[in-house]
């Protein structure tokens, strides 16, 4: 198998972290800049987005959620997503964290527009407030405190470290102090260290 990824992408990092957590071997990780429109990536993913996992038979899997569900199903016995029937609350929490990841990446894209004088104060504020509201909600509900590793925790840890990496000015720890404490333990996991952006 072959994983096309970007070192700075929090979506790619979620996938790379799960690969290491589940000790999956036989996946060749290929660092890719999706903006280069490389032929290898576009051949298997017409959207030109990462991460993209090419299976041994050549079939591509994208986006990150599909890849994560595949890895959990094939190599993790469904434990990361949970094998409970109709776990609508868990699914909703997963969607919240995915939405926060989307907001963090969109905020970064908006910041990059600043050089051209096109940055929108409206969208910048909207993304920042969504992130702070969402993190406050997660902090108050104790979502991260499961004793067993969940996919929500994986994505949340990648989100929080992405915020530190790209949005240090956000000061998310002030609205989510329990998450800050949780992350200080979680970030010590070998898979977190191995996938940290450089």
d(CA 193, CA 182): 16
Q: Which CATH number fits domain 88-195: 3.30.70.890, 3.40.50.300, 3.20.20.70, 1.20.1050.10?
A: 1.20.1050.10
d(CA 67, CA 32): 17
Q: What is the pTM of this model?
A: 0.91
Three-state DSSP state, 127? helix
CB atoms within 10 A of CB 128: 18
CB atoms within 10 A of CB 84: 10
Look up the CATH number of domain 2-75. 3.40.30.10
d(CA 133, CA 74): 35
pLDDT digits (tens, 9 = 90+) for 53-112: 999 999 999 999 999 999 999 999 999 998 766 677 788 899 999 999 999 999 999 998
């Amino acid at each position: 198998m072959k994983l096309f990824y970007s070192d700075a992408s929090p979506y790619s990092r979620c996938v790379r972290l799960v690969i290491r957590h589940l000790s999956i071997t036989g996946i060749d990780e290929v660092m890719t800049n999706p903006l280069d429109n490389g032929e290898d990536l576009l051949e298997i993913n017409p959207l030109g987005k990462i991460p993209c996992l090419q299976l041994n038979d050549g079939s591509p899997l994208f986006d990150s959620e599909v890849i994560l569900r595949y890895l959990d199903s094939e190599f993790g016995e469904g434990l990361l997503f949970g094998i409970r029937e109709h776990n609508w609350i868990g699914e909703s929490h997963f969607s919240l964290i995915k939405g926060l990841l989307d907001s963090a990446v969109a905020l970064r894209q908006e910041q990059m527009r600043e050089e051209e004088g096109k940055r929108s104060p409206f969208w910048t504020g909207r993304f920042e407030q969504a992130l702070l509201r969402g993190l406050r909600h997660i902090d108050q509900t104790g979502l991260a405190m499961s004793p067993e590793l969940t996919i929500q925790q994986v994505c949340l840890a990648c989100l929080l470290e992405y915020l530190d990496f790209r949005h240090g000015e956000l000061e998310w720890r002030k609205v989510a102090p329990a998450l800050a404490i949780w992350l200080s333990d979680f970030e010590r996991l070998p898979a977190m260290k191995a996938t940290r952006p450089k």
